[in-house]
Amino acid sequence: MLAIEGQYDNGRVELDEKAPVDRSRVIVLFPAEKSAKKEKMSTEEAVRILDKCKGSIKGSLNAKSERLAYLDERYGNTD
């Protein structure tokens, strides 16, 4: 699936860039209108979202071992 932004105007869609195909079925998504008042996310909501994503990123990082592993991969044994 490919996403290309564009404008919808009175039943017509105009893409911001050329599509890589001449003809295709499409799905058009309309983003929710942004309200004038921007609401700040609550701490509880932020924690809930982070908990939902837990495990998707390696939780522990040892900068020294990561740096040494990179140098070893790039230049060979760094001992």
3 is a domain residue: yes
18 is a domain residue: yes
Residue 56: band (very low, low, confident or very high) from pLDDT cuts 50, 70, 90 = low
26 is a domain residue: yes
Q: Which amino acid is residue 30, in one-letter code?
A: F
Please give the average per-residue pLDDT across 22-31, as a whole number: 82
49 is a domain residue: no
8 is a domain residue: yes
- Percent of the chain residues past pLDDT 90, beyond the cut: 0
Please give the average per-residue pLDDT across 14-32, as a whole number: 84
Looking at residue 47, its pLDDT comes to: 77
For 15, residues 6+ apart whose C-beta sits below 8 A from its C-beta are: 4, 5, 6
User: 8: which strand partners?
Assistant: 13
Domain tally, the chain? 1
The residue range of the domain holding 7 is 1-31
74 is a domain residue: no
Looking at residue 30, its pLDDT comes to: 79
pTM, to two decimals:
0.37
